[in-house]
Structure 1
């Protein structure tokens, strides 16, 4: 649905809305262009950006050159040619030109060629950030494309040896200067790209604009964009900027800076690995202690549940029961003896001269004595039977008669062939000694 903003008095545009619409329209309608004129009203902000007016005999237009885009030093009253984009400064509604590159009017052919090539490659998308690959944080295999005799290579190797000697480095020698250099650099890049490196470093030391011109080659730019391996470009010194720097996945101001970036903080990584190793050792020791404690608990439970322990407890109970039975019989015997004595004394007092009564008392005492003896005899027989029954239930006595006790790997008695399978290990306890055996055949109840 089409917006009605600004179409009626009831729904007007704000100045901010209008300025933003104008800015968007200018951005869609105008491509970048070259503009030539004289610099006046030149002003440099605290952030390093330059604001000025570019004029001819009849008109002038506001321009801004941001610090990141500056290559030459601007001077009041100087004739310059700039590559710019028309835009609107929305806070104030001022029309201005954002300068992409500024060169002195009548500058040499190399500079003009470079600016035109940058414009062409930028339009082709070779400078776009979204097509650039990420440089890995840890580099194990590095390919260096450079001159084998240049000082840049020696500086890089010195930094690598000092900061991270673990990186595996392969050098792909090539010319880095002259008209023959670009195709040789392209060949070296293709070869290095096929050798499974983590990163490629295209580099050379400083020099004049003509010395570094091989890295402003269009064919080299497209070759860099086609590589599968991430590439870092470190060409010249801090003030130099080449096409390879703009196309590469990352650029560094000097070869030495690139070496430091690739080497990383080796000592910190080493310390981190040591800390991780110590933590791992601590975890292993702690886990071993937990397993050992668990094994001790299982062993204690096994000891408490062992048949010998059960038999020992039952034997103690039997001894206690025998002792209590003996005490009961002795107490009852003493009680009856005392009772008989009292009866005898009572009878004697009542019928002291009656022979018959004496004979009855004598017989009663005799019978009581016999009963007591018989009960004692029966109690002893019962005790003997209980002892014999307990001994018959003792697994050790069963073993003495030629039987055996077989347990599985968890020390559980094996009473059914279904409890084990072929290949299991069992332990058989005999009357004397133990036998460990491995199951090679199982005959179930249904197959016997």
Structure 2
């Protein structure tokens, strides 16, 4: 029979085979997932192939780790690593021991998450203005998480320690390919329960792949659209998912979420007692100050009966003065009223109309007389003007034997030079006209010659 070897021997054989194969460092590239620092300073993560189903565990020891390398090792980052494959016998696994990290850009998963985050942020799902305030004293707290995990126990213990609140669990799968749909259905079921004041969506810590369900778009939209305030408590403080941005509040851990939601009754009672004591002391101080002020006022005022008597005397004096002034005022007003009545009677409408009628009649007679005189003077002026006009009339000249000679156009002739031989003429007499023709034109110097 073939001789069997021990597990330790098998591990040493495996380690020698890998050491012989990787005498020199090799470069490998892929996408980082599940990055986590160790307490001793080493850095562990998984390098995943983006084109096929293949992964390898990677460790960078503290002696090789630089701050720049630590910054480059992030979940979803594409990197190129230099190192050697080795076998770690205590755990029976192979791992890639890297000593150098170079960036190759963001991984496909990280890029997809970044695009989804930008899309949802552009739609306003992460807007702080749309976030709902948490209730101050919720009676029923809904919890969406695993039925068997530590999250529900932590939340229940914290709530009980802080004074109690009714915890309503909607169990869901929080890891794996069906986790997003399971959490979304549980959240929708709690939203339909009447009386649920606030909902905690939580799970414990894990790798980035374990928390990937809480980056699902449908789940993020369900959290943002929930009518009840939602607190996201996914992973640890360093873990950030898209549900953290969409929720109305974020807690670093499920226990912190319970502390955030359930008020501490002991602290509330202590605060109430402290405020009550302060209020009581303030009231006593206020009463003391008011009593002191009242004593000062009493001493300043003295006996109120003396003050009332003095004021009553003053009132009597003012009443007498008022009555006297009122009598004088009534007398003056009576006299003024009599004077106004006399003036009013003098201006009575009947009397005023009679005076005006008499004035109008006299004015009418004066107007008629003035009109007759004006007409007489006008007739006289017209007679004189008519006599003057008659004296200047051409007809009067014609009556004395003169005549008027007109040319063919009817214009009166004043000079012989205005016509020529053969022109027709009209000679106007006092009675009738004569028609003539110019036989000759005599110059002015020859007038009278034969």
Question: Is TM (by shorter chain) over 0.5?
Answer: no
TM-score, with structure 2 as normaliser: 0.39
**Which protein has the larger Cα radius of gyration, Structure 1 or Structure 2?**
2
TM-score (norm 1): 0.39
